[in-house]
Structures are given as C-alpha cells and as structure tokens.
Chains A and B, each alone.
Chain A
C-alpha cells in the first residue's frame, strides 16, 4: 500500500499538539499555551457542530432527491429543520413559539422513546435466560428484582428488608463494581490517548 507523505506532517502536528497540552498540565509555565490550544479545540468543536448540521441536511436532501426507500422521513426532517429555523432565528431559542415546539414536540417524542426503551428492557430481562443461560444471568436478574422491590411499596406488605438490602447492594457491591470498571475504562482511555500521542493510532486517516 502506498502512503501519502503528507500524513507524516499530520502525525507530527497531532503529536506536538497532544504533547503540548499534556505537558501543560504538569508544568505551569506551559499552562498559557495549553489554555490557548484548549480554546482552539473549543472553537473547532463548535464549528464542527455547525458543519455537522449542514452535513446532516445535505445528506437528507440527497436522499429526498433520490429514489430512496426512506425519502419521506428525510423530507420530514428537512421540513422540520426549516420550520425550526424560521421560528427560532427571528425570535430566539427561548421565545414563545420556540418553547412551544420544544414542549409539544421534542419532549413528548423523546419521552416516548424512553418509554419504549423501558418496555424493551423489561422484555429483554425476561428473555435473558433464553439468550445467556448462566449463573451470572441469575445474579443479574436477582439484583434487578431486589433493586425494584427495594423501591416499591405494597399496601399491607413490609418491604423494609428489601430496601436495606438494596441500599447495601448499591453502596457496596454496585459502587465497588463501578469503580473497578471505571478504573479499567480509565486505563483504556489513557492507553488510547498514548497511542495517538506516539503516532500508533491515526484517526485522521493514513
């Protein structure tokens, strides 16, 4: 495979930038440069957000023009985008009509999706044994049931024991497990960042 020589310049820039910001955290003398570069990163992120919006609209516009199966949904997206622009740009994002759109469209739609998610999770838990028959599945289901029973109140039934057990489960086992996972995730993130710093990983193409 042939490699573009320009890539080496990109690698050099990436390594230099990353190293400068990292060293800036440890040496106060470089904190100013670090801050400047972080400001650039913030600006780039904001600009990328804007470009992402344009890219999204352009992709769905292309789908609308082509004979695509889901062109109707792409058309709905474009219409919604234009409508939102027309409403929010003149009057601001927190104007009356903007908030009407937010309160009556965005919140109900996303809340409905979360409701569907709740049903799906209950169904997934119910058929977890069918997918993965092991002792860990039993522990998983048992923990879920204990957590739920620790919250509910049933008339005529004392569930304080479940509540105390749930609190103990959450404060000891869940927290311990979370910390262990977070440690591993943190190490993985550090390793990923170091690979980018030494040029082993090039997410910017090669």
Chain B
C-alpha cells in the first residue's frame, strides 16, 4: 500500500488522507482553478467566484484547496501543468528579459515571482506565507544602472508609476488569495471551495505562465520542453550556471519526499525549497515530532562529588546561622596539669621554709668571676665614688635583689660612696628599694638626708644607648640633679667626678643582656682604669661571660643569680638574702627537674605510641 509521509511531522499516513492523522497538516495542497486566473497580472479575473459554479464537481474534502492538490496528485501532473495557478505568473515572467543586463531605468524595480506551486501541492504553504514568499524584494537584486543614465526626479516619478502599474497584478492576486483563504476556513463548503480553489489555481497558473521565469519552473519541475518554452515566450531558454543547475531537483513528488542516497545532508521536504539538500529547516526540530532522547532523571555524580556537594550545602546552610562560641571548659586537662605542676613547685619551695631541718649545703666553689669581683670591691677605699647602674625590672627583684644586696653589703662595709643611675623608668625606685633592703639585711645606715649623704640617686637616663653614651661622656651635663631635684654634683665626693672614668668602680645590675651589652659598648669603651663588674640574672650569664673571658677583659667580675650571690656571700663571709633563699631555691630547682623528666618522658611515650599506631605525624 502506498504510504504518504507527512511533510511536517514525518509520520506515515494512508494515501487517501487529505490531512495528517497526527499533526493535521494538509497532505494534499489546495489547487486554484486556473480558469479564474487573469491572462496577465493586474487584470481582474473573468469570474468573481468561479469556484461556486463547480461545486458539484468537487469531491468531498475538508478543504477545497486540498482537494485541488489531491486532484493534481491523482493526475500526477507535473508542476508545469497548465492548470497550475502559477502558470499565469510563468507566462508573464517569461516575457521579461532575465539576463544580466542592467535593467532599464524606466522599468524600475520589478517584483520577481517565485514558483510556489509545489508548496501548494504539498500543502506546506500557509496562507500568510504565500503572500510573503511570492515576491522577493527587487531592491536586493544587484542592479547595474546604465552607464550614461542620470537619475532625475522625473525618472523617480516614472519609476514609481511603473511600479504601481506592476503591482496591480499583485493586488489582484491578493484578492484571489483572500478568496482562497475564505474557502479554506469554511470547512462545510467543500464543493464551493473546491471549485473556487480550482479556479484560483487556474488563474494563478495563467499569471505564473506569464510572469514566472522559465528557469524557476525548471528548478522544481525539471527541464522544460524547450519548444514549449520558446512557444510561450518566443525566447530561448537561458543557460544556467553550473552551481544553479546542480541545485535543481528533477524528481517527482515522491522524489521530493525521498532523500537521495548520494546526499549526506538533510534534504528539505517541504516548502519552496523542497528537494534541495543542505537547507536549514524552516520549522524547528520540535515540530518534526521526533521522539526525544531519554535521559536519566537522576543526576550522575560520583561519590566525591556527592560528598563535596553535601559539604557545600552545609556551608551554605550555616552561613546565615550564628555560630555560638563554644564555652571553654572550666576544668580541662591542661589546666589540671598546670595546677598540679604549680602545687608541686610551691610545695617544694615551702617545705624548706617550714621544715625544721635546713639545707646547709651550699655551692662549694666560687667561680673566678665571683672571686675577682670580691677582690676588686675589697680594694675600694673609703668615700670612693662607685657608680651602680640598676637596670633590672621589678619582676626580677627576687633574684637580683639577693645578688646586688650581697655586693652592696660589701660596698657598704667598705664605706664607698654610692651613685645610682638607671636607664629604666623604674630603676631609680628600684635603687631606693635595694638600699633599703641592704640596710635591713646588713644592718647598715646608708641614707640620703640633708645632714648625711652616703649615696646619691641620679635618677633616669633617657634616650637608651644614646643617652648612656651622653652620660658616659659627660655625666654632669646628662644628669645635673638627683631624683629629688637637688643639685647632685656639689657634694665633695661628686665634685671629683668629671666623667665616668673618674669613678672607682662601675657596677651594672641587669637581667637583660641588651642593657648589659649597651653599657659595655657605650660606657665600657671609655673606661680606662675603672673596673666594670656585672651582677646579672642566671639567664644572661652565658651572654656576658665572653666579655669576662676576653683578652683584655672588658668585664672584670660577674655575680650571677642566686647561686652567685650565695658564693659571693660565702667568699666575703657574710650571710645575706641569698643564703635565706637557697634551700627553697634548691628544692624548687630539684622539683622542676623531676617534673620535666617525668612529664617529658610520659609525653614522649604517648607521642611515640601515637606515631606507632599511625594517629599522629612525627614532629618537625
């Protein structure tokens, strides 16, 4: 059984169907009665409604136009059938000179008429599109004006008049199409539609025969009979260029709908370009009714993508939420350990204080630095000015008070005149404090009153190392008065001092190696014969020792920390603060060593165990 494919949806329909079962598109295009077509464009048709007189002859159909197409199909008439309403156009166009010669100026742009017969037969032509596809813009066609022609206003008017005359046939055609449209919309008027369509097609065929150029007809209907063409127009057919000839389709209606095997591209199956390969589809692919590809509803993601998407989702959800700061636990393992350590240390320090037994074992041997310092101080004469730089912070009073007090005790025994200075803001106060402590521990009476001046507090040296240098070079100018504002250099002892080298001894007490070094660098270079002794914290002793070990010595003596003060007191045979501190200091130090060994060992074992189990990476 012959099967007809719908040009729109591509589905198969029985041959007798006028419309597609699926998309209702016309399978049989409407045919206009050529008898109703005027002989030439612009002339009214002979009959206004010729379709009505032939309604009895029209077979039953929903659309007279389709019936016309069906009739044409059953006749298997070629496109160039005389009953085709476009034949009228063809005849008219054939009379025109379609060569490449320039168009005469008085002719003006003439609309070109294309063969739409195949489209009507196939039923793909929509009524509105018929009008739009009938004529192309003549202005788009490249025109070569005559060489010597001058276009003047009169020529423009003439061109317009000519165009108006040429368009009269268009108006006639439009009126005929309106009749066709009314026929197609009236589904019950089958017979009338059929006759009207037949007449319209015949009329249009006449006009087509008059207007449509022969080469257009040959494109759709194959090569024409040359004799017929010559008889119609009295002109020899034009030679088509090769590329245009190659686009011609010489097949029948069936060939239009079948895809030639030698063409790989898509062949157009509907519209005026039906049969041409490589044409962009007029209708969107969605109208072709192809079955859509089936895609899985579930998004194909990998496990990694899923995890990352979940994390991202959590981040987004938490973005607007306030993250409460987690409360720090009152009792944590770290705090417990700290507390335990502190209790053990405090217990170790307090036990010697409250125990009846005292630890009388002191460090036995005094180092050379301590011995040298004691020897230098022993050589200080009565009322000799000794400069004491108090450069340690109040926090280090516990350690350095003991060391400095032992040295000051020795100086006070020697009845030296003490001059205190400091580059620390709290240094002058610390100096007053250590004098008080030394008086209490050593039972001395060093005072600074109006009647008795045994020491002077020169106060604070501003400017850091630069200030130290200034003081070393000219102490009178740097600090002209003492801390209470009284003139400092009017004392008989002070009057003998012009620069730092005039002091009998310079003592620097500091916990900080920077301050210690600053004194050596700024003031020590100016000391020619004046010895320099350092009283330092145990933490900075290694940094000052090179100055003692150097040749020549830049520092003549070092008393370091609690141990140094104990050794110094032992050397001069005096019991000072250090001897009171020593038992607690000793036991505390021992407890600290034990804690470090036990705690460090336990931590090391835990870490090694964790590394062994692969839970923790090794250290740096």
Contact = CB atoms under 8 A, between A and B. Distances in A.
Task: Find out whether A and B make contact in their complex, taking CB atoms under 8 A apart as touching.
Answer: yes
B312 interface: no
Interface of B: 337-338, 341-342, 345, 359, 361-363, 367, 393-398, 425-426, 428-429, 432-433, 436, 457, 462-464, 466-467, 469-470, 483-485, 541-543, 545-546, 549, 563, 586, 589-590, 592-593, 595-600, 603-604, 606-608, 611, 618-620
A102 B429 contact: yes
A107 B433 CA distance: 10
Contacts of B549: 171
Given A102-B433, A151-B563, A45 B341 contact: no
Interface of A: 38-39, 41-42, 45-46, 49, 92-94, 98-99, 102-103, 106-107, 110-111, 113-114, 118-120, 122-123, 125-134, 136-137, 141, 144-145, 148-149, 151-155, 167, 170-171, 174-175, 178-179
B593 A148 contact: yes
Contacts of B542: 170-171, 174-175, 178
B428 A94 contact: yes
Contacts of B620: 132, 134, 136
Given A119-B341, A126-B341, A132 B589 contact: no
A170 B545 contact: yes
A46 B338 CA distance: 41
Contacts of A178: 542-543, 546
Contacts of A170: 541-542, 545
A134 B618 contact: yes
A85 to B, nearest CB: 15
Contacts of B426: 102, 106
Q: Is the interface of A mostly helix, strand, loop or mixed?
A: helix
A94 B337 CA distance: 42
A133 to B, nearest CB: 3
Contacts of B619: 129, 131-134, 137
Given A92-B483, A114-B395, A152-B589, A144 B541 contact: no
Given A99-B429, A106-B394, A130-B607, A122 B359 contact: no
Contacts of A122: 341, 345, 592, 595-596
Nearest to B465: A38
Nearest to A46: B462
8 contacts: A93-B428, A126-B598, A128-B600, A129-B600, A132-B619, A133-B607, A134-B619, A178-B543
B611 A133 contact: yes
Contacts of B362: 153
Contacts of B590: 152, 154
Nearest to B483: A94
A98 B484 CA distance: 12
A103 B430 CA distance: 9
